Amino acid sequence: MAKLLVINTDGGARGNPGPAGIGLVIKDDKGELLYSHGAYIGETTNNVAEYSALIKALEESVNLGGTTLRIQMDSELIVKQMQGIYKIKQPVLQELAAKVISLLKKFDGYTFVHVRREFNKEADAQVNKALDEHLA
């Protein structure tokens, strides 16, 4: 039976590179919260943090039994890279993108959607909470 999951992910670094965190929220198709997570991931760039959040969300979506994904991110760069519109030039991002692609093969279907920051507040809050706790 098809199971749609709606994923919001965010990653951020204070300074670029700098202390970085990831945030993700996974809901079912009715908007019920299934999983949320925020974590400090060390010193890195915004883009590495964005990809790291996406990887964690995909791993959790496998655990939750998702078959179809709607992936919503406020990183236009990563959405367009995943849609094949932008080339991935940096080796570190190519490596992370390869991991994303291998995880995506575990699902029947997926859609990447670029959302404005104000529609990604829950994932963003997870990033900031993780960073605030680490830097306190």
Convert the pLDDT of each residue in 56-88 to its tens digit. 999 999 999 999 999 999 999 999 999 999 999
Contact 92, 51 (CB under 8 A): no
Type of residue found at 114 = H
| Mean pLDDT calculated for residue range 77-103 | 97
Measure the CA–CA gap between 13 and 49, rounded to whole angstroms: 7
The helix (run of H) or strand (run of E) holding residue 114 is: strand 109-114
Instruction: Inform me whether the pLDDT recorded for 1 exceeds 90.
Output: no
Contact 119, 25 (CB under 8 A): no
Instruction: Inform me whether the pLDDT recorded for 120 exceeds 90.
Output: yes
| Mean pLDDT calculated for residue range 20-34 | 98
| Mean pLDDT calculated for residue range 88-94 | 97
Measure the CA–CA gap between 6 and 26, rounded to whole angstroms: 6
User: Which pLDDT value is given to residue 113?
Assistant: 98
User: Which pLDDT value is given to residue 14?
Assistant: 97
Residue located via tokens 């306190």: 136
User: Which pLDDT value is given to residue 2?
Assistant: 82
pTM over 0.95: yes
